[in-house]
Amino acid sequence: MQAFTPVSSNKLYIQIYNQLHDAIVSGQFKVGDKLPSEKDLCAIFSVSRVPVREALCALELNGLVDSMQGAGYYVKGTTTASADSMDAVEPQEIIRARLVLEPDVAREAALHIDDAGRKELAGIIARLREEADGDVYTTTTDREFHLFLAKTSGSTLYVKIMDMVFLAMEHKMWALILSRTVSTKKYREQNYNEHIQIAQAVYDGRPDDAHRFMREHMEKLYERYWS
């Protein structure tokens, strides 16, 4: 087997991707071969599960491997279809940024919300409830909710930063991981309940609760992405 080497801390998933890519292209792994499990790759590269998962997703997006649920990753081809995924902002970077930013956004929204804002928020809550009742998850309403909080905070800078965050989330790597974790049936109701908890705190003008609930939501979001 290819002699993989431990990686340094800079852009771990790209380093792991490059080593796995080279092993596939060089024929160390042939079409139809199964790659080592995520657990084994973590041990091989001396890293956590997060960069390994990201590297495997990048390989899949670039046409080198297929994921078989419950069975692992198998080599699909030896030619890279696209290098687009390597330009992505890492999902964990996005979540970390949101973890730092959004609790403060929620607090400020609770401090500044007015009657017009409460009316708009009630409409968003109704759409979230409709999706929960229909057992569906859409990024559209989720994005609307978080951008509403930024707008209601009274800070134009918060709005611009959140726009940048959601632009980064439009990448295929984020969407692929989302489809297998946060948007699955297992987490839809939990995600809805957390949004409602945050929304109610903002609606009531409870800034400390809004901050705490948003922080807890972001921490759970991180856990779900790598569960």
Which pLDDT tens digit goes with each residue over 38-76?
999 999 999 988 889 889 988 998 889 998 877 889 999
pLDDT tier at 200, thresholds 50, 70, 90? very high
Q: For 112-165, what is each residue's pLDDT tens digit?
A: 999 999 999 999 999 998 988 888 888 899 999 999 999 999 999 999 999 999
Question: Rounded to two decimals, what is the model's pTM?
Answer: 0.78
Is a pLDDT exceeding 60 seen at residue 1?
no
pLDDT tier at 84, thresholds 50, 70, 90? low
3-state secondary structure of 28: coil
**C-alpha to C-alpha distance for 88 and 99, rounded to whole angstroms:** 19
Say if CB 67 and CB 35 are below 8 A apart.
no
- Could you tell me the domains of the chain? 12-82 (1.10.10.10), 91-225 (1.20.120.530)
What angle in degrees, to the nearest 10, is found between the helix axes of 49-61 and 172-180? 110
Q: What is the mean pLDDT of residues 25-32?
A: 91
**C-alpha to C-alpha distance for 42 and 52, rounded to whole angstroms:** 7
